[in-house]
Chain A
Amino acid sequence: MSLREQYIALMTILRKEIKRYLRIWTQTLLPSAITMSLYFVIFGSLIGSRIGDMGGFTYMQFVVPGLIMMAIVTNSYSNVVSSFFGSKFNHSVEELLVSPTPNYVILLGYVIGGVTRGLLVAIIVTIVSLFFTQLHMHNFFVVVIIVLMTSILFALAGFINAVYANNFDDISIIPTFVLTPLIYLGGVFYSMDLLPEFWANVSKLNPLVYVVNAFRYGVLGVSDVSLGFAFGMITFFTALAWFYSMHLLNSGKRLRQ
């Protein structure tokens, strides 16, 4: 396929993905806005006012970046896992597999689809957060880069989950039992400084710690981990997920007989 043909194939996948999640916006875009509003009310306004400052900011200001990042992570992940598994389940993935579209274009299409949903939800949640607190941008460049990298990473993770999933239970197990605990223990609601040294060190194995702290740095200018190390870890995990996803597609594992 020529580059132009590959571009058309990519845009076709992307258009299809965006159309899919916009068609079911009450399941894909609305829940995050409602859930995050509840977080802002409960953890920010009600409980947060009794907690006091954290990291030099009001508790509401402290949790907002983590909550936005939480929305990006869950939406990027769930978009790809549900869409790709759905196409595997109803065999419509065969439309792509029998076509000359290269595997990397297929992966890129699904990943960018997940990224766009992550970004759209991030914008919605950010707008909602402005009703509860004032946000100022410490470093816009860091914010943009970290949002893109994070949504790419978790869209890839969603793709891997979808390839391995055999039924609809399998696409909810990882988000429920792995992703959610990692998000909650990733420093969304607290600073690592509050943890005993041992648990603070254990937390450094959690990739969400780097994602949340790098984003918090971009917004507030504070982070529990070094920004360079955080970028390095996110890049490492993203590259790992990309190459593993490509390996799954190229080998045809669980996609071809």
Chain B
Amino acid sequence: MIPALTIENLTKDYGSGLQALKGISLEVQQGDFFALLGPNGAGKSTTIGIICSLVSKTSGRVAVYDYDIDVDFAGAKKNIGIVPQEFNFNMFETAFDIVVNQAGYYGMHRDLAMQRAEKYLRELGLWDKRDVPSRMMSGGMKRRLLIARALVHQPRLLILDEPTAGVDIEMRRSMWDFLKKLNSEGTTIILTTHYLEEAEALCRNIAIINHGKIVEHTSIRDLLRRLHREVFIFDAVDALPESVVVDGFSVRRVDDNTLEIEVEKGQHINEVFAGLNQANIRISSMRNRANRLEEMFVNLVEGAA
């Protein structure tokens, strides 16, 4: 099966001398839910900009399905829906006009465009706001409007650049559900995000980009399997002694009732509880200190993994 996206040796040099992309290559398979991660300035937005023609590449090859952007960019564009990081619609236009006009730019007949606009505005909970100019919408509504606009021509590949930035938790969860449903219906989705739990919750495969290079390209499951250690936080029922020792584990006393304990790969958490029992410390609750993927991400971009 042809990949939904193929990138080969892609480079981008800016006139300032900055080399934003240093020959990246990756493939995203059809039907995948793919995360593109990286710190600010790593090259994520440049990569997305090249795929959707807002940035000119210096060299390399990009193909969307079987449309090479150097041969048939219009064909590639028809298959892409883009949800940018920044709000980029005319603030004086209504939500309905924004979505219908976008359909028109893809050559869609106005009657069909209006039907599709209604469908996606309803699905994203914006139908009541269809006559509201975009400037009068909240941040969350604008984010959903970006998604409705990107979907109106029903692209096979949807690219979302930080889609839930600045969105409250409830709204983020409902957007996740919407994206999962879309993916289950066959749309390939590429997501960039700073919320690593978002990538962990949604995506099957991942690429991590840093300083213009792909430093990891694998499945989320494989990545998590390779974690070396996890840090757990334990809440004690009673006040802790000044010094707490659990044999074989690194322990840090955070305050009178809280401990942080590192569990290395190969160790078992039962051993931690055994040690705590031995020290007569009763535990009321336990949780991860940080997102596991975040730990891995930091390791990878620091070159320590």
Contact = CB atoms under 8 A, between A and B. Distances in A.
Q: Do A and B bind each other?
A: yes
Interface of A: 1-2, 4-6, 8-9, 11-13, 15-16, 19-20, 23, 86-87, 90-92, 94-102, 252, 256-257
Contacts of A102: 74
A8 B104 contact: yes
Contacts of A6: 107
B89 A98 contact: no
A257 B80 CA distance: 19
A98 B91 contact: no
B107 A256 contact: no
30 contacts: A6-B107, A8-B104, A8-B108, A8-B109, A9-B104, A12-B104, A12-B105, A13-B105, A15-B104, A86-B90, A90-B91, A91-B86, A92-B89, A92-B90, A94-B54, A95-B88, A96-B105, A98-B52, A98-B77, A98-B82, A99-B77, A100-B74, A100-B75, A102-B74, A252-B56, A256-B53, A256-B55, A257-B46, A257-B55, A257-B56
Interface in B133-174: 149
A16 B102 CA distance: 11
A15 B80 CA distance: 25
B253 to A, nearest CB: 51
Nearest to A19: B97
Contact of A5 (B86, B93, B97, B107): B107
Given A5-B107, A100-B106, A90 B54 contact: no
B88 A92 contact: yes
Interface residues of B, number: 35
A256 B50 CA distance: 10
Contacts of B82: 98
Interface string B69-109: 00001110110101010101111110001100110111111
B303 to A, nearest CB: 28
A95 B89 contact: yes
Contacts of B56: 252, 256-257
Nearest to A11: B104
Given A15-B104, A90-B89, A98-B52, 16 more contacts: A1-B107, A6-B107, A8-B110, A9-B104, A23-B92, A90-B91, A91-B88, A92-B88, A97-B53, A97-B54, A98-B77, A99-B105, A100-B106, A101-B106, A101-B107, A257-B49
